[in-house]
A and B are shown apart, each in its own frame.
Chain A
């Protein structure tokens, strides 16, 4: 790496920005290195596979939702795949992850099985949360996926608590906490980040800024359209960049993860991204223009990564073979969900309390 990364105090260190940096971005390394030959390209292939899996799972979920097989709210991650996949690539397996209701891609990237995810969407007993949580509440203890949460910003203090436990036990684990830019307005954000900064907890706060909170563009929710400017007030490092390239996401998040692991210093990261669908399946997204959407789709991270693989000399037929493999995995997950049993009513009490029911 050419540059050291910044900044206990972000405003002191304006470093040379890569073309992908958000205007006004502070810090970061600038630029992505091309994947190295051999092992390098296999790594990019692995990231592509995950992104493609997430894309295809969610396309099938959208179809199932339209057929009434999935109920409630369904918030898709389509368009944002590079964030979750890139960030997770920077983690050790036993690091912790926690996020919002837009959680499918994060859960899969953390290692949740497609079967458990799909069955949860179907509300089946074989789902990751036994069909009790649904789309917004993907939990998987085995992979340290600490869940998706439905109250905006409510999980941010929890994330700080998880990192507190890591510091308490000195287990060298890092917590990644994802949220949208809409969450930055709510008290839970301030209180969670503020305490994490005060107590120097090993955590990375990742704001996935997809420019809209529900139907509201960020210009109407933030007085300063730069989430990382808040880091100054907490005295923690920050980073800010576009999620066009999954390897760059990995690289930039890795710096924050390393900092958390080595020095127990939290970082506030703002990753600029875009969702191609509405806020949820019931949102026709009339608040943005078709031209804007088309423009953003030109940067589709899944297509870009595929193109990059090709330009790096990876054979198309190997990509196709991999895609066919993912396709089979996705369809198997749909079948698994379809054929799984409904959860038993006896679960209701048993999951409300541990031990005897306290009525």
Chain B
């Protein structure tokens, strides 16, 4: 059996079930307790677990990220919420220079089983300092894992896996997905990292996406189907480790690929995927791999310009037609 629940509920269920299973797990962050979470992901958890395990922090990202890392080194399993990933930049040093490097610096003596999570990328008209898609800054760093689910079931499964993992894991939740519903199996267990999902089968072209952009890719695919174009959509789910096999298998079937993500075009996940395809499936390609990304500019507040910056189905459709050598450039 499955229940149709919201993305935020799926994340909450994962945290609750893991906290019930393992008393070393605790949640910490700004407004996660008394206020019930800035985006209500942790609603009700303070009542359930008390303030020893659901901990409100002051506005001190560097400090509480570091506290989480220290606690993880000596055996606890913290879940640290950033109110948005935009603010994680304040704690970037802790994640990069401590969480990611501890195990190697100590010659494998110390693990750092911590989860950093929170909403990522654009919301609606919140301006340049609140709209960053941060995943590609983190996905470049060895020593941490980065996941970005698109559906509630994946959110629950990946969150459970993140909490059980002995490495630092970053869970990127799109702010605009929290209230989106999806079916979650009653017995949803942890989903292993590094496994992409083919969420739509097709033969003419592959769209690779993750997080909310998977939904955008699905919308584009449905529109393209009406024009007789058969689109396969690969939802990466996990950015590091990255599932090369599923991407390559799909491209070998369709021979064309467009990567869609909310990060900037310079470097990033799209560039990484394109590079792997040209190395691993060069002979299968009938067209260059294209990327649809957020425009290479700061995020504007104005609603129309914001929509222009963030990938929309029409831009995905145009890119798809380009790799199919249909329509104009």
User: Is B199 at the interface (CB under 8 A from chain A)?
Assistant: no
Binds A, one of B60-68, B101-109, B113-121, B180-188: B60-68
User: Is B56 at the interface (CB under 8 A from chain A)?
Assistant: yes
Check A348–B38 contact: CB distance below 8 A: no
Check B301–A183 contact: CB distance below 8 A: no
Most buried by A among B60, B86, B89, B304: B60
CA of A351 to CA of B302, assembled, Å: 14
User: Is B324 at the interface (CB under 8 A from chain A)?
Assistant: no
| A150 proximity list for chain B (CB < 8 A) | 126-127, 129-130
Check A214–B35 contact: CB distance below 8 A: yes
User: Is B228 at the interface (CB under 8 A from chain A)?
Assistant: no
Do A352 and B298 contact each other (CB < 8 Å), given the known contacts A71-B303, A182-B58, A213-B59? yes
User: Is A303 at the interface (CB under 8 A from chain B)?
Assistant: no
Can you name the residue of chain B whose Cβ is closest to the Cβ of A358?
B296
User: Is B31 at the interface (CB under 8 A from chain A)?
Assistant: yes
User: Is A151 at the interface (CB under 8 A from chain B)?
Assistant: yes
User: Is B90 at the interface (CB under 8 A from chain A)?
Assistant: yes
CA of A182 to CA of B56, assembled, Å: 13
Do A214 and B128 contact each other (CB < 8 Å), given the known contacts A131-B300, A186-B61, A343-B302? no
Check B59–A221 contact: CB distance below 8 A: yes
User: Is A24 at the interface (CB under 8 A from chain B)?
Assistant: no
User: Is A152 at the interface (CB under 8 A from chain B)?
Assistant: yes
User: Is A132 at the interface (CB under 8 A from chain B)?
Assistant: yes
Q: Mark B45-83, 1 if CB is under 8 A from A, else 0.
A: 000000000001011111100000000000000000000
Q: Mark B291-308, 1 if CB is under 8 A from A, else 0.
A: 000011110111111001
| A214 proximity list for chain B (CB < 8 A) | 30-31, 35, 38
Check B127–A153 contact: CB distance below 8 A: no
Check A213–B35 contact: CB distance below 8 A: no
Set B90, B301, B303, B308: member contacting A133, Cβ < 8 A:
B301
CA of A153 to CA of B90, assembled, Å: 10
A interface, size bucket: 35 or more
Can you name the residue of chain B whose Cβ is closest to the Cβ of A348?
B297
User: Is B309 at the interface (CB under 8 A from chain A)?
Assistant: yes
User: Is B246 at the interface (CB under 8 A from chain A)?
Assistant: no
Can you name the residue of chain A whose Cβ is closest to the Cβ of B87?
A151
Q: How many residues of B contact A (CB 8 A)?
A: 37
Interface positions, chain A 126-153, Cβ under 8 Å from B, are 129, 131-137, 149-153
| A72 proximity list for chain B (CB < 8 A) | 123-127, 130, 301
| B62 proximity list for chain A (CB < 8 A) | 186-187
| B127 proximity list for chain A (CB < 8 A) | 72, 133-137, 150
Can you name the residue of chain A whose Cβ is closest to the Cβ of B93?
A187
Check A123–B301 contact: CB distance below 8 A: yes
User: Is A287 at the interface (CB under 8 A from chain B)?
Assistant: yes
Set B34, B58, B129, B297: member contacting A222, Cβ < 8 A:
B58
Interface positions, chain A 38-78, Cβ under 8 Å from B, are 71-73
Interface positions, chain A 214-240, Cβ under 8 Å from B, are 214-216, 220-222
Check B35–A71 contact: CB distance below 8 A: no
Least Cβ distance of B173 to chain A in Å? 18
| B63 proximity list for chain A (CB < 8 A) | 185, 187
Most buried by A among B58, B130, B295: B58
User: Is A342 at the interface (CB under 8 A from chain B)?
Assistant: yes
Do A287 and B302 contact each other (CB < 8 Å), given the known contacts A133-B127, A137-B128, A345-B308? no
| A289 proximity list for chain B (CB < 8 A) | none
Check A342–B128 contact: CB distance below 8 A: no
Check A185–B60 contact: CB distance below 8 A: yes
| B90 proximity list for chain A (CB < 8 A) | 151, 154, 186-188
Check B302–A123 contact: CB distance below 8 A: yes
Least Cβ distance of B44 to chain A in Å? 14
Can you name the residue of chain B whose Cβ is closest to the Cβ of A71?
B125
CA of A287 to CA of B126, assembled, Å: 24
Check A352–B58 contact: CB distance below 8 A: no
Do A216 and B31 contact each other (CB < 8 Å), given the known contacts A72-B301, A136-B127? yes
| A131 proximity list for chain B (CB < 8 A) | 300-302, 305
Interface positions, chain B 12-27, Cβ under 8 Å from A, are none
A residues touching B (Cβ–Cβ < 8 Å)?
A: 71-73, 120, 123-124, 129, 131-137, 149-154, 182-183, 185-188, 213-216, 220-222, 287, 342-343, 345, 347-349, 351-352, 359
Subset of 9 A-B contacts with CB under 8 Å = A72-B127, A123-B302, A132-B128, A133-B127, A150-B126, A215-B31, A216-B34, A216-B56, A348-B297
Q: Which 7 residue pairs of A and B lie closest in terms of their CB atoms, listed nearest first? A: A134-B301, A71-B125, A215-B35, A72-B125, A150-B129, A185-B58, A123-B302
Task: Using A73-B130, A131-B301, A214-B38 as known contacts, list a sample of 5 further A-B pairs with CB atoms less than 8 Å apart, ordered by residue number in A.
Answer: A134-B126, A216-B56, A348-B297, A351-B298, A352-B298
